[in-house]
Chains A and B, each alone.
Chain A
Amino acid sequence: MKWHVLRPLWVAIGLVGAILVARVFLVPDDFGVHGKNFTYGYYRLSNVQEWVDFPVKYQGREGCVECHEANVVTLNASSHAPVECENCHGPGAHHPDGIESLPLNTTRELCLRCHAYLEYPNSARGSLISIEDKRHRRRRECVKCHDPHDPGEDT
């Protein structure tokens, strides 16, 4: 074969070699088959820990009760007991570092998520106490009359 035919071949071989060398430096050491097989378990092992270390934002009621015991006791005794504090108050991750980190949501829309009347006879929605948004005190916030911590007792 003549030289000018061989030359691109050397270039191609050189490129493959360069890629193989670059791969040694670029691919992390912990990259490999760690799971059940190559198809589903070929990955960078340290990424699992990276996901485990992802910050938690919703803390749960146990965190709230330390300072807000009265509210939690009232809530637990009410029909709203299954509703998490953070559903209405927002995720407590950075609370109480800054009080502004937990803006209180008192909008009508929040209550209507569950309490807007939908005429679905065979849905669980039907078993909830509900209002027709357009007919029931249209422009007032629900919390002006109803206590969300103890909805059975109107204020």
Chain B
Amino acid sequence: MTCSRRDFLKDAVGGTLATVMPLSAFTFLSHSEARAAVQESKVRWAFLVDTNKCVGCGLCVKACKNENEIPYDAEVTRTWVERYVVTKDGNTHIDSPMGGRDGFTSMEVDGEEIDPDNIEKAFFVPKLCNQCDNPACVQVCPVGATYQTNDGVVLVDRDWCIGCGYCIMACPYGVRFFHPVHKVADKCNFCYHRISKGMEPACVECCAFGARRIANLKDPDDPVTKIIMTERVAVLKDEYGTKPHVFYLGLDANVR
């Protein structure tokens, strides 16, 4: 085989171009550019409940019902407060009359009088939608009427929901209910209309004791995110693998 000097140079230049040109189609992205390219949100909403601070006034439940147009006297609510009274005989008495809407003003638990001397401990636990990372309720929806937004909140499309109730059954936390007016599934959405405008959810704003707080987990400077990241927090029913995003400070083993 012979190869002239001219042919060799031609082939060398051509070969180099053929290999380098396609490479230039690739760009090296920084980490942040890569994230922006897949349109990942800069927000991941989460919630922090400090059960040590809750006094069971129920103003959060009242505010939630008013803010989100949930019929006030219907036995459904997007958030509720549970009272736990653990007695010295080892029993746990739990109640949440009307979701704690009118507060807890009596020592009676579920119609049962409890001797104050017999109480070992008593506390209040606010509950709301956990905005799970693996939401079981979304997975079971047969029509795509409930979904996870890019900032982590699970919403219900009221125009698209057929009211079959699968999601109400699927939620391990029991936060979903059938809306008596709109006849669709309904649930807490962290007051999506408020948090997306820079406001706090209604329950957070109305809590006088700081027991409820909202956090953006993707903002490392968020004071509530710092608490979630650095303090000893727990979630409800971790064993279900739903990756709930409502974190609890001072959660008792009796809370289910």
Contact = CB atoms under 8 A, between A and B. Distances in A.
Contacts of A124: 52-55, 209
Interface stretch (B12-20, B190-198, B233-241): B190-198
Interface string A11-32: 0000000000000000000010
Interface in A104-145: 109, 112-114, 116, 118-125, 128, 133
A72 B4 CA distance: 94
Residue in A90, A113, A116 with the greatest tally of chain B CB atoms within 10 Å: A113
A113 to B, nearest CB: 3
B254 to A, nearest CB: 13
Contact of A113 (B102, B116, B145, B202): B102
A16 B235 CA distance: 46
B160 A44 contact: yes
A76 interface: no
Contacts of A58: 63, 66-67, 202, 205-206
A121 B148 CA distance: 41
A116 B106 contact: yes
A43 B144 contact: yes
Interface string A49-91: 0011111111010000000000000000000001110110011
Interface of A: 31, 34-36, 39-44, 47-48, 51-58, 60, 82-84, 86-87, 90-91, 109, 112-114, 116, 118-125, 128, 133
B206 A109 contact: no
B157 A43 contact: yes
A41 B148 contact: yes
- Which 7 A-B pairs rank lowest in CB-CB distance, beginning with the nearest? A113-B103, A43-B147, A54-B193, A120-B122, A119-B116, A116-B105, A113-B57
A41 B139 CA distance: 10
Nearest to A125: B55
A111 to B, nearest CB: 10
B121 A122 contact: yes
A6 B87 CA distance: 73
A114 B103 contact: yes
A42 B147 contact: yes
15 contacts: A40-B135, A44-B157, A44-B159, A48-B155, A55-B193, A56-B194, A57-B202, A60-B199, A82-B209, A87-B63, A118-B56, A122-B123, A123-B122, A124-B54, A125-B55
Given A57-B67, A58-B63, A114 B57 contact: yes
Interface in B109-124: 116, 119, 121-124
Contacts of B208: 82-84, 87, 114
A92 B160 CA distance: 31
Nearest to B122: A120
B91 interface: no
Interface in B130-177: 134-135, 138-139, 144-150, 155, 157, 159-160
B198 to A, nearest CB: 11
Nearest to A120: B122
B34 interface: no
Contact of B192 (A52, A57, A123): A52
Given A43-B144, A124-B209, A87 B124 contact: no
